[in-house]
Structure 1
Amino acid sequence: MVTGLLLSQRSFLPAWLPHIHSSATFAQSTERRCRRWLDNPALDPTAIYGPLVTRALRDWGGHTLILALDTSVLFEKFCLIRISVLFWGRAVPLVSRVLEHPSAQVGTAQLLPVLAEVKGLLDFLGQHQVRLLADRGFCDTQLMAWLRVCGWHYRIRIKSSLILAAPDGQRLCKVGEVRLSPRETRCVHNVTLTGQHFGPVHVALGRPLDGPEQWQVVSDEPTSIETFAEYGERFQIEEGFLDEKSGLFGLEDSKLRDAASLERLILVLAVATLLLVSEGVQIVQRGDRRVVDPHWQRALSYLKIGLRAVQYALSRGQAVFLRLTLQGAPDPEPLSGRKRPHAVPQTTLEVGWQLVFRSPS
C-alpha cells in the first residue's frame, strides 16, 4: 500500500493497483484486500507505526525533541489530531488520531490519550528533553499541568481574553489589554493565568511590523525574543497537513468516510513520510543531493528530495530505503531562502511579574 501511494501520489485505492505486486489475478481482488486491511478493527496504527518511528529516533542523540500539536478537519466530518516531530524543516508524524468530529477544536480530554501514547514512545526511547508547540486552540491550563507533570517544556499561543495575575493573586490585566506598537515586544515573567491562577508561567507579547494582530505566547521557561522563533517552528506541521491533503499524497481524493479506516489510511501516509524523509536525509549526507535537486543550494524539503531520490533510483533499478533515521543534530544543509510566517519583533522589554507600559525605544 505504501508503494502504491508513493508511485501514484494519490490516496485513492484504485490508483494504487498497478503498483501493487500480489498473487491475485484480478485487480478487484487486490483492491478488496486493501479495503479489508483498512477496515480491520484488530489493527492498531500505533502498534504498527510505533516501532518504525522509534527506530528512526534512536539516532536523535541528546538534543531536545521538538513536538508540534495540531488538528485538521477532513471532509467537514472528521478531525485529525496529530503530534509530529519537527525535523529539519519537516514535520514527521509521531501519533495520529481521527475522530468523527466536524470541528478543529477538541477538548483536553480528547488530547490526553494521544499525548499519553507519545509519552509512552518517548519513555521507551529514554527521551525526556521535550518541547511541545501548540496554537491558541490548545491553550488550556489542564494541558499545561499535564505537560508539567511529564517534565516537558512548552510554547503555546494564548488567547487575548486570558487574565494575567501576580503570584500573590493580584489581578494585573487581560492579555488583550496590553497594546503594543509595531516591532515592540514585552516579556512578562512569573505570572499566573486565568481565575485559577495557574503558574508560575512566563509570557512573551509581540506585534509584527506587517499586521495588527499580536503574538502572545506562554512558556514554562523564561521568555525572550527567541520565544517567537521557537514558537514559529510550529508552522511546519501545517505544511505537513498541506502535503497530505492536497499536495504530495492527495488525501482529499480518498473515498473513505469512516474514522477508523481513515486513521489506518493516515498510517500509510505516515509510513511513507518517514521513509521519504529518511531517504532525503541520507541523500544529502552522502553528498548526492544535486543528483536529484537542480538547485545550487538546497531549496527542497527532505521529503521532496526523498521522493525524487526514490523516483531516480527506481528508474535505474537501484536500492532505496536502506535505513530509517531522524537525527537531533543541526541541519547540515539548511533550506535556502526559507520564508518566515511573520516578521519577528525587534524591540524587547523584559520585566518581572509587574507589567510596565511604555512606547518602544
Structure 2
Amino acid sequence: MKTENATGDAPRLYQAILPHLQGALWNDVRNVHTLAWMVTGMLLSRRSTPSFWLPYVHSRAAFAQSSERRFQRWLCNKHLQPSLLYGPIITRALREWGQDTLVLALDTSVLFEKFCLIRVSVLFRGRAVPLVSRVIEHSSAQVDTDELLPVLAETKGLLDFVGIRQVRLLADRGFCDTDLMAWLQHCGWTYRIRIKSTLILSTPDGQRLCKISDVKLQPRETVCFHHVRLTGRQFGPVHVVLGRLMDDPEQWQVVSNEPTSVDTFGEYGERFQIEEGFLDEKSGLFELEASKLRDANSLERLVMVISVATLLLVSEALDVVERGDRRVVDPHWQRGLSYLKIGHKAMSYALSRGQSFFRTLRLRGGPDPEPPKPRKRGQPSSLEALKTGWHVSFHFIS
C-alpha cells in the first residue's frame, strides 16, 4: 500500500522538482526531465540504484527496461558535465546567504575501494550541503593537492558569482599542506585545518620553537602559538592551538591564518558535519554504496543527483522551520532531527495531504532559530566534545 501511494505521489513530486532544474546549462531539454524523474525516484525509494526508481516513473515507455536504460544513458552521457548542471542550481540557492561567513568543509570518501569522492560542502545548521563534488579513480582518501586545487577553484568561482567573500574552510589533517594554505590565503579565505604532530614550529625569524609532538599537555589544557612558521619551508605566519580532552590520550592541533584560542576547536569541530553527510549518502538516506556503477564519470553524475536531492530537502526544512511548522513533522519538543530528515518528512507530509512543497530553493546565513536538542548526558558528539571539553584557562605563546 505504501508503494502504491508513493507511486501516485510521483507526478506531483516530479512537477515540484522540475522548475528548480531548468536554469542549468542543458544541451537537450529531455535531459532535465530525466534528471527530475531520477531525483523523484531517489527521494521516494531512498535508494541510489536506478532499478529502484522504476515504480515511480511515469512515461510512455511500455517496459521497465526502457526506463532503466534511459537512466543508464543519462549517467553515462559524457556531454552532461555535473559542474555545469549543478553549479547554477546551488548558486541560486545561495543568493540569499547575506553577509554571514560561509563555512565550508573539504573532505574525501572512498567508494567501492576503487574511487575517491572529493567534496566541498556548505556547512548549514548541522548538515553538509554539497557544493562541488569530484569522483576520481583513486583507492585512497589521501589525494594530492594538485587534485584538490581545481575543485577549490571551482568552488571559489561559484561563490564569487553570488558575491560571497567571507569564507572559512575546515579540513582534517590529511589536507595539511602549505601549498593549500597558501592558495586559501591568496583567495582571502580563512581556514581551520588539523595538522600533524610531526610538524615543526619556528619563530618569525626562523629559530626553531618545537616539534608539535614534543608538547605534552595535561587533560583539558591548551597552548596557543601565534605568529609562527611551519615546517622547513618556514611557511607563515600562522597561528596554532594545541589541546587535549579530558579522557582522550590524543592531542588535537589546529592551524589557522587567524589568531587561535579555545574557541578554535569548536570552529574546527563543525567539520564533522561533512562526515555525517557522507554517512547519509553512502549507507543512510540514499544508499550510494548499493549502487552498481563502477565508472568515475558515471558515479560523479550519480553523486550530482544525490546533491540535488539533498539541497531540495535541506531547503524545504529551512522553509518549514522559518514558518514555525517544524513540530508538525518532527515529534520532538526540541529539534531532534537533522534538516535533511526534517525536509524528507515535510515532503512526505505534504504529499500525503495534497499540500505544496519545494516552493523555494535557498540556503540563508545566520544562526539556527531552532538548534538541535543536546544529547543525553554522557553521550557527547565529537563536535560537542570539541566545543566544551577544554579548560577555560590556557597558555599563550606569541
Deviations 1:186-219 (A, max 9, x none): 1110000000000000000000012100110000
2:186 maps to 149
1:356 maps to none
Shift of 1:140: 0.2
2:274 maps to 237
Equivalent residue of 2:224, what SS?
A: strand
Structure 2 alignment gaps of length 5 or more: 1-37
Residue 346 (str. 1) matches residue 383 (str. 2): no
1:25 maps to 62
1:162 corresponds, among 176, 199, 202, to 199
Structure 1 alignment gaps of length 5 or more: 354-361
- Equivalences for 1:100-249 in 2 at 5 Å? 100-249=137-286
Q: Is the 8 A contact 2:176 2:196 kept in 1?
A: yes
1:251 corresponds, among 288, 311, 314, to 288
Deviations 1:135-178 (A, max 9, x none): 00000000000001000000000000001000100011111110
Residue 98 (str. 1) matches residue 135 (str. 2): yes
Residues matched between the structures, number: 353
CA distance in 2, matches of 1:30, 1:50: 27
The aligned amino acid for 1:305 is I
CA distance in 2, matches of 1:334, 1:13: 35
Shift of 1:348: 3.4
CA distance in 2, matches of 1:19, 1:288: 28
Q: Is the 8 A contact 1:190 1:352 kept in 2?
A: no
Equivalent residue of 1:348, what SS?
A: coil
Q: Is the 8 A contact 1:224 1:350 kept in 2?
A: no
2:355 maps to 318
1:13 maps to 50
CA distance in 1, matches of 2:165, 2:381: 29
CA distance in 2, matches of 1:55, 1:99: 27
Shift of 1:352: 3.3
Q: Is the 8 A contact 1:186 1:348 kept in 2?
A: no
Q: Is the 8 A contact 2:202 2:210 kept in 1?
A: yes
CA distance in 2, matches of 1:247, 1:153: 32
Which of the pair has the greater relative contact order for Cα pairs under 8 Å at 6+ separation?
Answer: 1
CA distance in 2, matches of 1:320, 1:23: 26
More helix by share: 2
CA distance in 2, matches of 1:23, 1:280: 33
Shift of 1:340: 3.3
Q: Is the 8 A contact 1:280 1:305 kept in 2?
A: yes
Deviations 1:277-305 (A, max 9, x none): 00111111111111111111110011100
Equivalent residue of 1:11, what SS?
A: coil
- Equivalences for 1:71-90 in 2 at 5 Å? 71-90=108-127
CA distance in 2, matches of 1:285, 1:347: 35
CA distance in 2, matches of 1:340, 1:75: 27
1:52 maps to 89
2:3 maps to none
Provide TM-score, normalisation by structure 2.
Answer: 0.87
Q: Is the 8 A contact 2:201 2:212 kept in 1?
A: yes
Equivalent residue of 2:240, what SS?
A: strand
The aligned amino acid for 1:307 is H
CA distance in 2, matches of 1:261, 1:92: 21
Q: Is the 8 A contact 1:185 1:347 kept in 2?
A: no
Equivalent residue of 1:331, what SS?
A: coil
Provide TM-score, normalisation by structure 1.
Answer: 0.96
2:28 maps to none
Deviations 1:91-120 (A, max 9, x none): 000000001000000010000000000000
Q: Is the 8 A contact 2:223 2:397 kept in 1?
A: no
CA distance in 2, matches of 1:193, 1:254: 42
Percent identity between the two aligned chains: 70
Shift of 1:314: 1.1
Shift of 1:347: 4.2
Shift of 1:350: 3.9
